[in-house]
Structures are given as C-alpha cells and as structure tokens.
Amino acid sequence: MAKRFVTVQQALDMVLNMSDDEDPEIVVLPPANTGDVTDEEENDENLNISQPEVLDVAGEVEVHTNKMEASQVEQSEGANAPKKGKTAKSASVKMTYSKPCLFDENYPLLADKSPIELFESLRYANQKLNHSFSLSVSNLEVFLGIILLSGYHTLPQEALYWSQDEDVGLAFISKKMSRNRFQEINRFLHLADNAKLDKSDKLAKIRPFLNIIEHNLQQFGVFSEHLSIDEQMVPYYGHHTTKMYMRGKPVKFGMKVWVLASTERHPFAFDVYTGKDGTRSRKLGKRVLEKLTVILQNVCNHAIYFDNFFSSTTLCRKLSDKGLQCTGTIRMNRTENCPLTEPVLLKKSDRGTYQTFSDGQVVVCQWNDNKPVCVVSNHETVEPLISVRQWSAKKKTLMNLPQPHMIALYNKKCFPA
C-alpha cells in the first residue's frame, strides 16, 4: 500500500494515525525528469558551464505500509505470528532516498564539502532565491578578463561588447561567454555576506576584498627605508557617498585613498576615505598617519615624507620620541610661532635665500624659490647646500641656486600625488 504527499509533515501525520498492525516507511521520491524546457528557461548555446546540472533533488513524499488482511493474520504460524491483543505500533520511521547523491561522480571538487560550505559558496544567489545559479573557476576567469578588458577598451554601453556590428562588437568575447551569462555572474558576484555587513562601514560590501589586497601588498614586509604618505584619487563617476570632487587634481571625481608607499612607488598600505568618523579628538592627518604606520615593525629603520596636510612641529616631536624619522612641508600656522620671515617679504629677496631655526629636536627651514617653501624635519639638516639649476622667468635664463639639503631630499623622496 502506498500513498503520496507533497510535504513530509503530511506523511508524519498519517503515520501517527495508523493502526497497530501497520509497518510504515517514508520514502522521498526524486522529481520526474521529462527533459522538457519550461517557459522560464533559456537555451543559450554560448553558455560555458563546465559542470552538469544537479537533477537529484527530492520530489514528492510517499508512505509505504505492509498492512496484512485479517485472513492472512489467522493463517500465520510460528513465533513471528502476532498475538491477539498484544500488537504494538512501530516506534521508528525510516527516511530513505530512492536515488543516490551524485556529488562524488559529477562534482569531485565538492565531494569533501560540508552542507554549510556548499550553501555558502553561492550564498547571494540563494538569498535571491536563484538556486539554479552555478559558477566554475573557468567562468570566473573569463568574467574577470572581460572586466579588465573593458578598462582600456571602453564602449558607451556594456551590451555593445556582444554587438554584431563590426565597429563595436568583439567576437572573441562573445565566443567565450554570452551576454546573458556575463550579466548573471555580474548580478550574483558578491565579495561579502549581506547578512553580516557592518552598517557603520560605507565600504562593507568590498571590505574583505580590500583587506586581501592590503595583505598581499605586505606579504614581503615593509622593505623600503624611505616611505611617503599622500592622497591618491581613483577615478569613479558612479553614485556613492564616498565619491569626492578634488579641485586642482588630475582626477577630479572619484574615491580619495590615503597611501603609504615607497619612493619606488610600491604601495604597502592604503585607506579609502569615507568621510568624517564622528570624532574630533584627533585631526584627520594624524589619524591617517597613525593608521598607516602601524604596519611598521621597527620604526627606526624607516623615514617618512609627507606634505603640509599632515605635518606640524608638534607631530614631528611626537614621531621623534617614537623613533620615527619624518620630513615634510609645513604651513606657517603650524610652526608654533617660529620667528620666520613672512612669505610675502621673503619673496622679495633674492632667489636661493633661506633661513633656518631649530630647538634641538626639530629643524624648520624656509627657502625662496619661485615662491617661499617651508620644510620641517626631525632628522635632516640644512647643510650641505646643493646647487640646483632653476629657470628664472625674470632674467629669461637658467640660474644656479643654493638649495638646503633637507629640501632637496624631500623633493627626491616624497611620492608625488
């Protein structure tokens, strides 16, 4: 005797209401595979899916019972024959599948994965109720290749890469991956679990990826002696709360990133600026400097160079106490009343004129070039002077000018924005 149900709960309700002489068994049946394509499915010959579709999914629930007729009970003999008035209901319910799982055969890479790991591999697609989505390593490589190609071969619209027009379409892209497949991967490819996002972090959806990049940049340690901290603009024209407009920069619209790099332009650490953090206890420049330099294991082996956004005589003293050497341009209002000549007056003097002051720990030097330049350092000196050839707009010729050593070293070591 067999009876089918749609849910397991319905089958359990039937088992609990059975008589004592029945032996129930619940069987979960596989779905019928007719091979027909529904209206919601698409046949795309260009799809490059390396693994077959999983078809062994549970279907209806069927309950099997071995109920004996009354005449059969009377004819039963031996010790196994049920005794009148002493029959008992079966205490166990068996759950069996009529078709074995094919992970070992068709999905060798998933054979050793737990159910949790299998679920998390396509988490976002499952969250969007798309359980048929699959992604192989080869598909992901092709997808990333198309993304990289679109960075230097730009077209007005994404769909034009699959256009049949000779002036825009790229045949080698459409042969590797169809447009629908690319858009499907682009929709479900996520770098973080949406259920565990830090709402206070504006970059929470890409934070794991940023952490991986920064970890790889530091995999060999900070091996450069001379380091520079400055801001960099990453072009971005979409909509995001962290997008900024920077007047006077080559890239005016985009994301501002603080970068700690060597003078050979190898980045070691970075921090994307996401706006005010709600605290005024420390200035932004100081917070950025402390956050980026925390990766230095032995600060005595390095020298930091930065511009006037970060530097002050107070900061240079604090870094000197920690053993970290630093040099940077400085604004006049951050020199702590150092008796320097006003820039307007110094500009009227001859080019190459300089003045310097020191308290024994920090040196401040002001030098007149095309306009006055002021530099502070806790480890460099003014001498020896260096002769540099500068163009004089007034005399229409090149001139040899004396330049303080600390200013020349700053120009050489500071990573340009």
Residues 166 and 228 in one domain: no
Distance from chain centroid for Cα 268: 16
Within a domain: 196? no
Torsion 347-352-356-362 (CA) sign: positive
Within a domain: 174? yes
Q: How far is CA 176 from CA 48, 164, 180, 338, 408, in A?
A: 7, 15, 12, 66, 53
Torsion 223-225-230-232 (CA) sign: negative
Mean pLDDT of each 10-residue bin along the chain, 417 residues long: 63 71 63 43 38 44 56 43 43 41 47 53 71 82 91 89 89 91 89 85 90 91 90 88 87 92 90 78 82 89 91 90 90 87 87 87 89 90 87 79 89 71
Within a domain: 32? yes
| Domain extent at residue 221 | 202-297
Residues 21 and 130 in one domain: no
Residues 160 and 73 in one domain: no
Within a domain: 259? yes
Within a domain: 197? no
| Helix-then-strand count for the chain, H and E | 13, 15
**DSSP sequence for 233-297:** EEE--S--TT-EE-TTSSS-EEEEEEEEEETT--EEEEEE--S--S--SS-HHHHHHHHHHTT-S
Return the residue matching tokens 């530091």: 218
Residues 413 and 313 in one domain: yes
Where does a domain end: 112, 133, 150? 112
Residues 156 and 181 in one domain: yes
Within a domain: 155? yes
Residues 73 and 18 in one domain: yes
Where does a domain end: 81, 112, 143? 112
Q: How far is CA 83 from CA 20, 66, 90, in A?
A: 12, 17, 15
Residues 271 and 364 in one domain: no
Number of domains forming the structure of the chain: 4
Return the residue matching tokens 């917070």: 287
Within a domain: 195? no
Residues 245 and 311 in one domain: no
Note whether 180 and 143 are within 8 A (CB).
Answer: no
pLDDT value of position 103: 41
Tokens of 378: 């806790």
Residues 143 and 232 in one domain: no
pLDDT value of position 299: 87
Residues 283 and 317 in one domain: no
pLDDT value of position 74: 43
Helix crossing, 313-322 with 284-293: angle to 10°? 20
Collapsing DSSP to helix, strand or coil, 245 comes out as: strand
Residues 308 and 383 in one domain: yes
Where does a domain end: 190, 223, 240? 190
Residues 312 and 411 in one domain: yes
